Amino acid sequence: MQMQPRHCPNSRAFVGLALLLLLVSLASPASSCTAQERSSLLQLLAGLSRDGGLAATWRRDRDCCSWEGITCGGPDGEVTDVSLASRGLEGSISPSLGNLTGLLHLNLSHNSLSGGLPLELVSSSSIVVLDVSFNRLTGGLSELPPSASALPLQVFNISSNLFTGRFPSAIWEVMKSLVALNASTNSFTGQIPVTPCVGAPSLAVLELSFNEFSGNIPPGLSNCSVLKLLGAGYNNLNGTLPDELFKVTSLEHLSLPSNGLEGAINGISKLRNLVTLDLGGNELTGSIPESIGDLKRLEELHLEHNNMSGELPSALKQLHKSRNN
């Protein structure tokens, strides 16, 4: 026999009221768009010559937390995410987005946005992920004063744009939380900013390929104890591979093709965690060291179009056999 639970006379009403209050408490953060947040987002919309249909949902009479591409959350239900990738947007990026004090993630990638990147976004005190890759942004990046407060930015992706000029030299002193920087496929000039990991010790990805950087590879890379990817191919770099580079034993991907690098690569075997190594299209000399066979994780190797001589090390053959067994 199944026992029937006993209920207080008002138990159903109590449960119903509790559920209602729970729903209200859960829903309220998502319905707290402030007038300032709405105004800041509408200024972005006003600066677009093509809005990808955003105007249909970005209406003044609706809570901006319900607008397409907008997410609200946090303790006060503020705007935390603006995700408008691949929307066919054209026009400029409004600096008013810097007024969204709770904004954590801004993704405007894969559009046709033009003009400059507002300093208000780069120097935001809240943005953790900033992705404006694959647009038509022009001009240079404004220099950030070293005395500025440390920024929370962790992922900074400005790749595949039309940026020019020198890369800000003080970026590492301000972006101390940076984990990944992708500035590839632009037209940045000058030297690679030095000592990146002194100011940003958590830097794991540094991608600077397809630019116009010149000069030597900065020796300060030896401070990058957790760097996993270093890409600076298709630039105008010269000089030798610094000994300090071979101390970055955390490296898994080293890509420096099509530069003017010279000298030998005898120290490369110290990078025991390398999975891919691309040094093709340079002016490297000497022979491939037998110790390259110590790179047990190596899956891809490019050394073509250099001035290297000698025989192919037998260690590479053994490495190939061990990987196939």
CATH number reported for the structural domain that contains residue 198 in this entry: 3.80.10.10
Query: How many other CB atoms sit within 10 Å of the CB of residue 59?
Result: 13
Residue 311 lies in a domain: yes
Instruction: For residue 299, tell me if it sits in a domain.
Output: yes
Domain region containing 181: 140-324
Tally the domains of the chain: 1
Whether 196 is in a domain gets the answer yes
Report which secondary-structure segment, H or E, holds 317. helix 314-324
198 within domain boundaries: yes
pLDDT in 10s for each residue of the chain, 325 residues: 333 333 333 334 333 433 333 333 344 444 568 999 999 999 999 999 999 999 999 998 899 999 999 999 977 889 999 999 999 999 999 999 999 999 999 999 999 999 999 999 999 999 999 999 999 999 999 887 766 678 899 999 999 999 999 988 777 778 889 999 999 999 999 998 777 777 788 999 999 999 999 999 988 888 889 999 999 999 999 999 999 999 999 999 999 999 999 999 999 999 999 999 999 999 999 999 999 989 999 999 999 999 999 888 887 766 655 555 4
- In a domain, residue 52? The reply is no
Query: Residue 221: inside a domain, yes or no?
Result: yes
Decide if 104 is inside a domain: no
pTM flag (> 0.95) = no
Please report whether residue 24 resides in a domain.
Answer: no
